């Protein structure tokens, strides 16, 4: 289940440090606005500014799951009086979100990857984070982020497929509490560390070599 992390928690502090914004994090009241598509915070804020004035404030929304804490590049609306509101429509309703302003990537037209930290010390979760990052890199590296449809060639397409599938498998595997000593997710009955771990490391290295 996804929750809003506590500002004072140590892991929240670590993630904020990683983000490295010059601004302080704060809770922002949620007040969904009917004028935007669900989950499209930038679009909703743009619509609201056009309709009622105020301004957009880009930054990061922080979310905590069972396995990791993550920061999503996000946008809130600031009304004429300077009050901040989270106005995106979401399936999960929260009274407030944890938000840190950061306009360094705003207006570049590029997609911004989520930043994720392992909530525990299970290396399987680290591999899961790597899998998310590899999918993002293959889809959004450089100018690719501005293209409307994804066109990957042979090796990249194969790696994209590999990590998309892996992501799902590792999520399930990690949620069940598997560690590297557990029987591998592939069903081989060998422990993960002497089965798929090596394969995953090689694939990660390939992505980083292709998409620096
Ligand atoms: Zn395996």
For ligand 1, the distance from its centroid to the CA atom of residue 143, given in whole angstroms, is 35
The CA-atom distances, in angstroms, between 209 and each of 111, 124, 162, 206 are 20, 22, 16, 5
- Is-contact 196 185, C-beta < 8 A? yes
Ligand 1 center–CA 133 separation, angstroms:
21
In whole angstroms, give the CA distance from residue 61 to residue 86.
Answer: 10
What pLDDT score does 35 carry? 83
How far is 66 from 129, CA to CA, in rounded Å?
A: 13
What whole-number distance in Å separates Cα of residue 157 and Cα of residue 138?
8
How far does the centroid of ligand 1 lie from the alpha carbon of residue 167, in Å?
14
Q: What's the CA-to-centroid distance between 94 and ligand 1, angstroms? A: 38
Cβ contact 164:150 at 8 Å: no
Specify the pLDDT at position 211: 84
Give 91 Cα–ligand 1 centroid separation in angstroms: 35
User: Do 112 and 105 contact (CB within 8 A), yes or no?
Assistant: yes
What is d(CA 55, CA 52) in angstroms, rounded to the nearest whole number?
9
Q: How many CA atoms lie within 13 A of 197 on its CB side?
A: 17
Question: What pLDDT, on a 0 to 100 scale, did the predictor assign at position 131?
Answer: 97
DSSP state of 34: T
Residue 79 Cα, ligand 1 centroid: separation in angstroms? 53
Could you state, in order of their start, the residue ranges of all structural domains in the chain?
10-101, 121-210
Per-residue model confidence (pLDDT) at position 1: 86
Q: Give me the pLDDT at residue 143, please.
A: 63
Mean pLDDT by 10 residues, the chain (212 residues): 95 97 96 87 94 96 96 96 94 91 80 93 96 92 65 85 96 94 95 97 95 80
């Amino acid at each position: 289940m996804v929750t809003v992390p506590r500002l004072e928690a140590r892991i929240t502090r670590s993630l904020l440090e990683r983000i490295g914004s010059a601004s302080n994090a704060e809770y922002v009241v949620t007040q969904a606005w009917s004028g935007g598509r669900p989950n499209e915070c930038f679009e909703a804020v743009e619509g609201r500014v056009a309709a009622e004035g105020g301004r957009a404030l880009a930054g990061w929304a922080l979310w905590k799951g069972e396995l990791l804490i993550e920061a999503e590049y996000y946008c809130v609306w600031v009304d004429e009086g300077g009050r901040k509101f989270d106005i995106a429509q979401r399936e999960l309703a929260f009274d407030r979100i944890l938000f840190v302003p950061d306009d360094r990537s705003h207006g570049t037209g590029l997609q911004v990857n989520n930043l994720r930290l392992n909530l525990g010390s299970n290396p399987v979760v680290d591999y899961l984070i790597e899998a998310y990052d590899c999918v993002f890199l293959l889809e959004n590296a450089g100018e690719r982020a501005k293209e409307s449809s994804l066109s990957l060639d042979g090796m990249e397409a194969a790696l994209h497929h590999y990590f998309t599938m892996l992501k799902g498998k590792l999520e399930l595997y990690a949620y069940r509490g598997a560690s590297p000593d557990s029987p591998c997710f592939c069903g081989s009955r060998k422990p993960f560390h002497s089965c798929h771990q090596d394969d995953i490391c090689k694939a990660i290295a390939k992505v980083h070599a292709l998409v620096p």
